[in-house]
Structure 1
């Protein structure tokens, strides 16, 4: 069996592991362990692909905000805009969102019915108010993930694919990870396994932090009228759905579902897709002509729905970089800057120096 040695072994080569390896750069010999034949197969490759400072809540927003300039400077963001819409029942949620954006210094504009009608043609009369978030942008996820993998490789990182982890044991002052592709030994072990983060921690004897995977459904539709390419992302203030334009007049629709599941290669449930389409046709007076495809991805949350970054309090050299929910891509640059600094005991880069990284430490669950 092949044997590999590194300074830092990272389990998971999705957006979390890839970004962290890229930010570590040539400061350490890094090896990425990926269970699949290609990185990003599960959550990264199934993302809804937008950058929104309101998404994830006020304690995630600083990571999103810090990531924006980094991604924009490298061409990974493209203008979109977002409108949160509310029925009378949803007005309090809209007001809470406005308060959070005020506190975070995020630009927004409150909209009444006339403005909503102009922005979203044939919107149901039930939606009486909205909030425009003009800074929301699309993310080129594939390019971003590829960039991180490329940067990591240029810095000397190795990537093992088809390398599902079988056992993890302490070996002297370090770790031995037995995978299907060989045995990896390293003083430091990073848990960037996404939906599989809790099973990885169990194998390593680390703290039993529950990182719960949830299934999120998405469908690609053709509608009549077709969704205009320059329309904003539309999100329900009560979190019941969102939809956004895709190429060729198509749209992506999600029922914003969160169904707790065990980590696996998830597929969409037909009932979830049917509910989403029915709900959509009550939001706008658009007919769904055809459902072209549907898929599902995994979002993984810690109990308090904040990410987990830092060294485990009971397993020496075991580092958590997990629990990034559905905001892992939009926060990836800043999260990786934080993770690399904590892992290497280095100062925080200026872009994230104002973030209270103690909020994300695994010790909070002790």
Structure 2
């Protein structure tokens, strides 16, 4: 019998498994062939602490030291730029204030992002307090911590059935049956399905598709040092990626839990927005993909034991912030499970625990 059975092997499951491995025996289950297969493997992976809901920003800020220092750190400099046309001044100014960006000149913008058309987008803000996250290294660091504490990480392990027992849970994986004291639901877009199998009230989460296109860098240019760039209100964004650029239309289209794929028309619209403010015509895509970002009804993370059954623990609703919040979010779950005073302020904890969604 394992103490903690983690369902889901993305960044949510790996991080919370690592934290809980110091409290008891952990078994982590991932349905796919590898960890971080779905949303976690399709992330733009930026660490920027002044983005999202106040509770999300608090988790991001509390994760900074871990990201910078733990296991040698997983961050590398990137920077963040916001570019807008004059017609979008109101949204530009709102984003500037929210994200704490500094206004820069056209000349400065051109030096940072050489293909930006500063006549089409004369409003530009920037700061250097944004970093790329080495997502694979972070996931593997957490998985290694689970193993170092005597835990088990299993792939190709699809949960088929869950029963409540007097001492915890009985979980069927194909013809194999596991027993656990506590289930941790870190199944991403599938968290409500896992809850339903366990006889626990679902959260009412909604998975939303986010699409991405990978395009060649302009001929003769190396974008490695360019910042990530956003349109106002996050209409679109682009980011250097291994000698190329990734561009997203920042779509949020409802989808059932599935192995998502990008819609060609949605990608075309996003690329057109990108081209409208660039000295660059996109003539081909190198690749495209989509992932599901899963949100609770109030678009805040859901962390901690279920109020109706504390042996069922949520690590859910990351909504695209899973990597940047993982160190603090997983620590909070472990604190709540262990009955320790959380490091996060109590008013923030109240915005994150499942109890808030049980009206």
1:168 alignment partner in structure 2: 162
Question: Is the aligned partner of 1:139 residue 2:155?
Answer: no
Question: Is the aligned partner of 1:230 residue 2:225?
Answer: yes
Q: How far is 1:176 from its partner?
A: 1.3
Alpha carbons of structure 1 residues 23 and 119: separation in structure 2 relative to 1, 3 Å: same
Structure 1 distance, partners of 2:294, 2:175, is 26
2:94 alignment partner in structure 1: 96
Is the contact between residue 84 and residue 231 of structure 2 (CA under 8 Å) also seen in structure 1?
Answer: yes
Question: What's the CA shift string for 1:137-188, capped at 9, x where partnerless?
Answer: 0010001101100011111111232221111121113111112262221121
Structure 1 length normalisation: TM-score?
0.91
Structure 1 distance, partners of 2:233, 2:160, is 42
Question: Is the aligned partner of 1:286 residue 2:284?
Answer: no
Structure 2 distance, partners of 1:51, 1:181, is 41
Q: How far is 1:41 from its partner?
A: 0.7
Structure 1 distance, partners of 2:337, 2:127, is 34
3-state SS in 2 of match to 1:300: strand
Question: What's the CA shift string for 1:23-77, capped at 9, x where partnerless?
Answer: 1233211111211121111111111121112332333111111212211112200
Q: How far is 1:112 from its partner?
A: 4.8
Alpha carbons of structure 1 residues 205 and 311: separation in structure 2 relative to 1, 3 Å: same
Question: Is the aligned partner of 1:188 residue 2:186?
Answer: no
1:53 alignment partner in structure 2: 49
Structure 1 distance, partners of 2:2, 2:336, is 18
Q: Which has the higher strand share?
A: 1
Unaligned runs of 5+ in 1: 102-106
1:104 alignment partner in structure 2: none
**Structure-to-structure mapping, 1:1-366, within 5 angstroms:** 5-73=1-69, 74-101=72-99, 108-124=101-117, 125-180=119-174, 182-225=176-219, 226=221, 228-248=223-243, 250-349=244-343, 352=344, 356-366=348-358
Q: How far is 1:355 from its partner?
A: 7.3
Question: What's the CA shift string for 1:56-108, capped at 9, x where partnerless?
Answer: 2333111111212211112200001001122234333333334434xxxxx63
